[in-house]
């Protein structure tokens, strides 16, 4: 242990730039996510602007009841859990463990698909019983924000599917697995954004 510490603090080790040698693709994804998160921030800013500047004390406005939380909690649980197997898959393929890659990515895919299924139920209930995007500005923004997020999940599922097929045909190896790391970056961010959406549209709406 102390050997590790002294090895890591020797002048030549400290002098190395950290992190060294990130792939351009990794940086590309980081910046794409930066602009993407900025878009979510703008959408949520629009939501809070309408809530606190435009609308009065009654929120959600009109006859719309406060959002029910059960399905949203389930969705949150599913999306948060889905990140774990992807991390296992990423660490696995780094050591050349293809089985872990396939199992991890497959599990993440299933959890993500389950998220979308519950979101479908949630949409169905809201659209038929509570409100639609055409009801008022609250409805418009609710569906714009959650819909935009759902689109991200669909895109993520497509990427996971691509990895799954490529992994099955042996194209992802211990030396070529950047696509797993980069897709993971995307997936975890989409999950983190969901927490903010959940907190803003569901939890904070109870206050």
Partner 1 sequence: MTTVEEQQAADAAVAERLEPVWEESGGLRGWFTTVDHKKIGRRYLVTAALFFVAAGLEAMVMRSQLAGARLDVVSPELYNQLFTLHGTTMIFFFSTPMLFGFGNYLLPLMIGSRDMAFPRLNAFTYYVFASSGLLLTGSLLFGAAPSGGWFAYVPLTEEQYLPGIGMDVYCLSLLLLGVSTTAGAINFIVTALTMRAPGMSLNRVPLFVWSLVVTAFMVVFALAPLNVDNLLLFLDRRFGFHVFDPDDGGDPVLWQHLFWLFGHPDVYIIVLPALGIVSSIVPTFSRRPIVAYPLLVLSAVATGIISFGVWVHHMFVTGLPQLSLSFFSAASLIVTIPSGIQIFAWLFTIMLGRLVVRTPMLWILGFLVVFVAGGVTGVMFAVVPFDQQTHDSYFVVAHFHYVLFGGAVFPIIAGIYYWFGKFTGRMLSERLGRWSFWLVFAGFNVTFFPMHVLGLLGMPRRVYTYEPDLGWEGWNLLETVGAYVLLVGLALTLFNVVRALRRGPAAPDNPWGGDSLEWATSSPPKEYNFPVVPTVHSLHPMWDERTLATMVEDRQDPGRTLTDGKQAMRTSDLDGVPEHPLDLPEESVLPVVVATGLFVLTVGALFGLAVVAWAGVAVSVAGLVVWHWPRAARQEGPRQEQQA
Sole window of 22-30, 73-81, 103-111, 116-124 interacting with partner 1 (rule: CB under 8 A) = 22-30
The residue among 49 and 73 lying less far from partner 1, judged by its C-beta, is 49
Sole window of 87-95, 114-122, 128-136, 191-199 interacting with partner 1 (rule: CB under 8 A) = 128-136
Residue 175 as a binder of partner 1 (CB under 8 A): the answer is yes
Residue 46 as a binder of partner 1 (CB under 8 A): the answer is yes
Q: Distances from the Cα of 138 to the Cαs of 100, 105, 127, 133, 141, in angstroms? A: 43, 36, 13, 8, 5
Q: What string marks each residue from 145 to 164 as x (binds partner 1 by CB under 8 A) or -?
A: -------------xx--x--
Q: Distances from the Cα of 151 to the Cαs of 84, 112, 122, 170, in angstroms? A: 21, 12, 15, 29
- In this structure, is the dihedral angle defined by the CA atoms of residues 167, 170, 173 and 178, taken in order, positive or negative? negative
Sole window of 23-31, 105-113, 118-126, 194-202 interacting with partner 1 (rule: CB under 8 A) = 23-31
| CA nearest to 114, candidates 143, 145, 71 | 71
Q: Where are the alpha helices (DSSP H) in 95-175?
A: 98-125, 137-168
Single residue of 12, 17, 57, 63 touching partner 1 by CB under 8 A: 17
Question: Under rule CB under 8 A, how many of the chain's residues touch partner 1?
Answer: 47
Residue 144 as a binder of partner 1 (CB under 8 A): the answer is yes
The residue among 103 and 166 lying less far from partner 1, judged by its C-beta, is 166
| Number of Cβ within a 10 Å radius of residue 195 | 13
Q: Are 141 and 43 in contact (CB under 8 A)?
A: yes
**Contact footprint for partner 1 (CB under 8 A):** 17, 20-22, 24, 27-28, 31-32, 34-36, 38-39, 41-43, 45-46, 49-50, 53-55, 61-62, 133-141, 144, 158-159, 162, 166, 170-173, 175-176, 179
């Amino acid at each position: 242990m102390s050997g590790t510490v002294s090895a890591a603090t020797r002048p030549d080790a400290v002098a190395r730039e950290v992190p060294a040698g990130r792939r351009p693709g990794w940086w590309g994804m980081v910046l794409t996510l930066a602009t993407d998160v900025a878009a979510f921030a703008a959408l949520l800013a629009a939501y809070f602007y309408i809530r606190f500047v435009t609308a009065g004390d009654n929120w959600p406005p009109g006859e719309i009841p406060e959002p029910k939380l059960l399905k949203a909690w389930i969705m949150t649980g599913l999306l948060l859990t889905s990140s774990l197997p992807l991390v296992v898959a990423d660490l696995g393929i780094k050591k050349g463990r293809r089985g872990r890659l396939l199992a991890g990515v497959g599990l993440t895919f299933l959890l993500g698909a389950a998220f979308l299924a519950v979101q479908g139920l949630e949409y169905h209930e809201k659209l038929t019983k509570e409100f639609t995007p055409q009801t008022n500005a609250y409805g418009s923004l609710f569906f714009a924000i959650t819909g935009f997020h759902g689109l991200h999940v669909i895109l993520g599922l497509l990427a996971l599917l691509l990895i799954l097929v490529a992994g099955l045909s042996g194209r992802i190896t211990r030396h070529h697995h950047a696509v797993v790391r980069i897709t993971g970056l995307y997936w975890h961010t989409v999950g983190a954004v969901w927490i903010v959406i959940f907190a803003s549209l569901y939890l904070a709406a109870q206050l």
